[in-house]
Amino acid sequence: MKSYDVIVIGGGLQGSSCAYQLSKRGHKVAIIEQNDVASGTASHTDGYVGFSEKAPGIDALQGWHSVKLYHELQHELSYEIEFEPTGFMYVCETEREFAAASDYAKKIRDQGFDMTVIDPKEMCELEPNLAPDLVGGILNKSDGLANPYRVVFAFVNEAKRNGADVYTHTTVTDIKRNAKGEVEGVVTDRGDFLAPKVVNACGVWAPFIGKMVGLEIPIEPRKGMLLITEKAEPVTQSIEVLEFGYWLAKFFADFKRPVSELVEKHNVCLNIETTMSGNTVVGGCRLFKGYDIKSEYEIMQAIAERAIRFYPMLKDMHCIRSFGGVRPFCLDHLPIVSGVDEVPGFYIAAGHEGDGVALAPITGLLIAQIISGEETPFDASPLAWKRFEGVDLATLAEHP
């Protein structure tokens, strides 16, 4: 029977990052993945890397650390991750949004991070293809883009170089524990693997692994959809652009915009990025539809409508592909990154919703540091599983 120091379940962004950081520290690591690596959420999403989609506080702090790590990783990893620190802009359609955005920018600045308020003239200088009638925006220059599935391949390749084993198309069916309840390994459809430590990095599927050790992990799949343009002249100037309504809609379910019924119905907000390949990725939406990732025509229609509102040039550009994916929405909007006291040897690195690409580096680092007994770069206790102790999860589950 194969034996390891740490088994990471899940070969996505979080799992591969954990495996990389652990293997770098000399731990003997195995990744166990039920499909191919990068086959779940990592290959059904856009590539935004930054802290600007986060709430001020721990959320923005971990995002900031993660962006900083991306700057180092692009040189450290031998596989090209297509990281571009090109900046990020929120655009506002109404005065109300602009006021909320300016307030948000101030809170982020008060935390010591970069976020500037810009007027429509500056916006159009930076983003000449933007509609000229917008009210204003906010900008930071440290965020950027990466290619999410290439980030996974890069972490996996590097972990393998450090001696990690990767078992794909292998499904974990149970967690082995001793009489004291301590983790001893995993049971899979391809045999048992031993390890005193197991990391559950299964994203939207994390609750299934949690149940194996009696934990109710409050993560639900939240669907997003994206459209891909043909390769053409860049729509955005390599900058990630979102409408601020996206942020407001993420945190305030009752927030309403002056939009069409179709856009409203499917909770569609613009996010757009022209990638290194020359295609532009256009989204998006946040919907609770179970694990369904099929492309829905009405949502495609709504995304196209909303995108043209902000980037009129798209009207004549071709859409060559659509796709859907599910993001691991954690009921209190923060990922879970910690050990679990009641199940010694069990760790969780999941629940990043739409921030999985951005946060993968810091999550992997935190898990590796926690497991290795190292000091973390900031107090990570707000991300710990312990925060759910004594909390009635049903009261957290208030979402549309």
Partner 1 sequence: MSLNYDDDMFVCRCEEVTVGEVRQAISDGAIDVVGVKRRTRAGMGLCQGRTCERLVQQILAQELGKSPAEVGSSSVRPPVRPITFGALAGGDF
Binding site for partner 1 (CB under 8 A): 36-39, 43, 149, 153, 157, 166, 168-169, 227, 229-231, 277, 279, 282, 295, 297, 300-301, 304-305, 307-308, 314-323
Cβ 239 to partner 1, closest distance in Å? 19
Q: Which of 212, 164, 156 is nearest to 6 (CA)?
A: 164
Name which of 250, 208, 231 is nearest 53 in CA terms: 250
Closer residue to partner 1 in complex, CB, 168/376: 168
Q: Which is nearer to partner 1, 50 or 224 (CB)?
A: 224
Give the whole-angstrom CA distance, residue 76 versus residue 155. Answer: 10
Q: What are phi and psi of 78, to 5 degrees?
A: -85, -5
Give the residue with the Cβ less far from partner 1, 211 or 318: 318
CB of 301 to partner 1, least distance (A): 6
Complex with partner 1: residue 166 or 380, whichever CB lies closer: 166
> What is the nearest approach in angstroms of partner 1 to the Cβ of residue 334?
29
3-state secondary structure 114-135: CCEEECHHHHHHHCCCCCCCCC
Residue 298 CB, nearest distance to partner 1 (Å)? 9
- Smallest separation, CB 245 to partner 1 (Å): 18
Q: Are 274 and 234 in contact (CB under 8 A)?
A: yes
- The three-state DSSP-derived secondary structure of 59-128 is HHHHHHHHHHHHHHHHHHCCCCCCCECCCEEEEECCHHHHHHHHHHHHHHHHCCCCCEEECHHHHHHHCC
Closest to 221 measured CA to CA, from 207, 209, 204: 204
Please say which residue, 161 or 399, places its beta carbon nearer to partner 1: 161
Given a contact cutoff of 8 angstroms between Cβ atoms, the answer to whether 371 and 6 are in contact is yes
Rounded to a whole number of angstroms, the minimum distance from the CB of residue 272 to partner 1 is 11
- Nearer Cβ to partner 1 (118/360): 360
Cβ 318 to partner 1 shortest distance, Å: 4
Between 324 and 345, whose beta carbon lies closer to partner 1? 324
Kindly calculate the radius of gyration of the chain based on its CA atoms and give it in whole angstroms.
Answer: 21
